[in-house]
Amino acid sequence: MATSDSEFNSDLLLAHKLPETRYTYNERDVAIYALGIGACGQDAVDSDELKFVYHRNGQDLIQVLPTFASLFTLGSLTEGLDLPGFKYDPSLLLHGQQYIEIYRPLPSKASLINKVSLAGLQDKGKAATLELETRSYEEGSGELLCMNRTTVFLRGAGGFSNSSQPFSYKNYPSNQGLAVKIPQRQPLTVCEERTQPSQALLYRLSGDYNPLHSDPEFAKLAGFPRPILHGLCTLGFAIKAIIKCVCKGDPTAVKTISGRFLTTVFPGETLITEMWLEGLRVIYQTKVKERNKTVLAGYVDIRGLSSSL
């Protein structure tokens, strides 16, 4: 529901402090997440993926995929937020974009303190986009592990400001998380992976219990014929494909991840991720094979390149 002019109060909103959250995880959570984004989903002994779900070859710890960092934004946030001076209908919320910076490889178990802040709000007329930044610090050492910037697309919540000068607030550099231009040439490599009809039911066990992804009646009320896949699940599939095809299976090669969700994905659909290399940047787009629609596009910055590429 859009707020009327009198309800929207930018001073109140921008002064609002969001509470810190705590996120504790262990190897079991790491493995359940990896299964949720399709690790070993096509081949239970996949030599590139077994290490994300099992102590392969006696390895000490299960390895962590970089997109696991996106879970740190969950907790209190998925249930919606009460924001003073701004009203929206949580059932019309869609995930619009995700931007992640990883400062050091994610440990296989940790307890984190998340500092959350409002990073942006734009009045798009029919909708509003709201951005939340989460900085995750390891409890104890206090070391900053990663930063997530989540953009939510709030259908029906726009039109709260003067249409000749729509409200626009952003507190981060404009070159971060920019929309990508997909090269016209053939991709360097392509990865195809089928999601399971139960994919969202498995993925939700990592902590995003929004009924939009599991409840047929709720999905209908939100405007969809059936439950849709979590955006972060699709992102996980795409980045896992990049790690496999470009980073030679090394999850620690990933430095920065950016992705915009362009269309919804339904569990059971096949994802085709196309990748192009520009310096140390991998530009990618993911399509749903059955509908030939691009559902996700973005880039990944990597720390280095294997000599065989």
Q: Which residue numbers are catalytic?
A: 208, 213, 228, 231
What is the closest distance, in whole angstroms, from the C-beta atom of residue 122 to ligand LEDWP2DD in the complex?
A: 7
Tell me how many helices (H) and strands (E) the chain has: 5, 11
Minimum Å distance from CB 283 to ligand LEDWP2DD? 17
Q: Nearer Cβ to ligand LEDWP2DD, position 100 or 253?
A: 100
Written as six digits, the tokens of 102 are: 């990883």
Q: Which is nearer to ligand LEDWP2DD, 213 or 244 (CB)?
A: 213
Of the two residues 219 and 253, which places its CB atom closer to ligand LEDWP2DD in the complex?
A: 219
Cβ closer to ligand LEDWP2DD: 3 or 210? 210
When asked if residue 25 is in the footprint of ligand LEDWP2DD (CB under 6 A), the reply is no
Assess 153 for contact with ligand LEDWP2DD (CB under 6 A).
yes
Q: Pick the stretch among 33-41, 139-147, 150-158, 281-289 that binds ligand LEDWP2DD (CB under 6 A).
A: 150-158
* 77 vs 202 by CB, closer to ligand LEDWP2DD: 77
| CA pair distance 108, 100, nearest whole angstrom | 18
- Which of 36, 38, 96, 267 forms a contact with ligand LEDWP2DD (CB under 6 A)? 96
With beta carbons less than 8 A apart as the criterion, state whether 298 and 257 touch.
yes
Nearest distance in Å: CB 301, ligand LEDWP2DD: 20
Q: Does 168 bind ligand LEDWP2DD (CB under 6 A)?
A: no
Could you tell me if 128 and 121 are in contact, meaning their C-beta atoms sit under 8 angstroms apart? Answer: yes
Nearest of 281, 279, 259 to residue 271 by alpha carbon: 259
How far from 204 is each of 17, 106, 271, CA to CA, in Å? 28, 21, 19
Where in 124-229 does DSSP place strands (E)?
127-138, 144-155, 168-170, 189-194
Alpha carbon of 297 to those of 54, 81, 240, 268: distances in Å? 30, 27, 14, 20
32's enclosing H/E stretch is: helix 27-36
286: contact with ligand LEDWP2DD by CB under 6 A: no
The only residue of 3, 67, 150, 256 in contact with ligand LEDWP2DD, by rule CB under 6 A: 150
Report yes or no: 247 and 263 within 8 Å, Cβ to Cβ.
no
Using CB under 6 A, which of 119, 121, 132, 297 touches ligand LEDWP2DD? 132
What string marks each residue from 245 to 264 as x (binds ligand LEDWP2DD by CB under 6 A) or -?
A: ---------------xxxxx
Task: Kindly state the smallest distance separating residue 130's Cβ from ligand LEDWP2DD, in Å.
Answer: 5
Distance in Å, CB of 264 to ligand LEDWP2DD, minimum: 4
Cβ-defined contacts of 74-78 (< 8 Å, 24+): 74/23, 74/206, 74/207, 74/208, 75/21, 75/22, 75/23, 75/114, 75/207, 76/19, 76/21, 77/21, 77/116, 77/132, 77/150, 78/207, 78/208, 78/209, 78/210
By CB under 6 A, name the one of 34, 50, 110, 130 that touches ligand LEDWP2DD. 130
Structure tokens at 167: 């409200």
Q: Which residues of 146-175 are buried (b: 16+ CB within 10 A; e: fewer)?
A: bbbbbbbbbbebbbbbeeeeebeeeeeeee
In the complex, minimum distance from the CB of residue 222 to ligand LEDWP2DD, in angstroms, rounded to a whole number:
9
Residues that bind ligand LEDWP2DD (CB under 6 A): 73, 77-78, 80-81, 93-97, 124, 129-130, 132, 150-153, 210, 228, 230-231, 260-264
